[in-house]
Chain A
Amino acid sequence: MSPRLRKGMLALHIGTSVGWLGAIAAYIALNAPVIIGADEQLVRASHMMMRPVLLYAVIPLALTSLLTGVIQSLGTRWGLFRHYWVVISLVLTVFATAILLLHVPAVDGLAARAAEGDADPSALNGDLFHSVGGLLLLLVPLVLNLYKPKGMTRYGWRKQMAARL
């Protein structure tokens, strides 16, 4: 990649990654009325809003962050499997994205239950576990990407040796 393209991709990667965290924060905020539980209408509305926030903010940002991260790694000397911090970031991001996608039916179900006027409000218990868990998990790649701790994989070392020959 040319330096200009690399910087552009990096800006896109940082923007979508931080945006992903922000979208999760918005999703967590939707759980506040559920925890407080004082207003049933607000609890229902919060559950119904979780679905669009998930589908149109969290998931697109997650997929774009993952894709730009992979492109960024492959397009630079860091590579995708050469350094432990890149490998661990990739594994955790793929894991978080997979759980996110697998969780969509559960959020669909919550939103559908919330939309039923005669549904039992006690069945609407929010979705804090996944959102807080996801946010905490994604802090690991964030820190790794900032500090880039040293540590080359055997694959990276072999590639390095081959390049020297």
Chain B
Amino acid sequence: MAGEHGERDDLGHQDEIPGVPGWVKVLGISLAVLVVVILLVMVISGGQHGPGRHM
């Protein structure tokens, strides 16, 4: 089936320059929000945890 970015085969191969798929944007935004929430929780809870603790 011809998609937004041209014909694709079973491996997703296509004829036109690909853009970033919608699912990648959704996943990226979700992970970014999750990271921000975790950082906020760390700061609010007194900053007891961070990358420095692992060094």
User: Which chain A residues have a beta carbon within 8 Å of chain B's beta carbons?
Assistant: 77-78, 83-84, 88, 99, 102-103, 105-106, 129, 133, 140, 149-154, 156-157, 160
Per the 8 Å Cβ criterion, residues 1-54 of B in contact with A are 3, 8, 11-14, 17-18, 20-21, 23-24, 27, 38, 49, 51, 53-54
Q: In the bound complex, what is the Cα–Cα distance between A150 and B17 (angstroms)?
A: 14
Number of interface residues of B (CB under 8 A): 19
B17 touching A157, Cβ below 8 Å: yes
Contact A84 B54 (CB under 8 A): no
Q: A77-B11, A106-B54 are in contact. Are A154 and B18 (CB under 8 A)?
A: yes
| Cross-interface CB contact of B18 among A99, A133, A149, A152, cutoff 8 Å | A152
Chain B contacts for A160, CB-based, 8 A: 13-14
Residue A83 contacts which of B12, B38, B51, B53 (CB distance < 8 angstroms)?
B12
Specify which of A78, A99, A157 lies most central, judged by the most chain B CB atoms within 10 Å of its CB: A157
A106, B55: Cα distance in complex, Å = 9
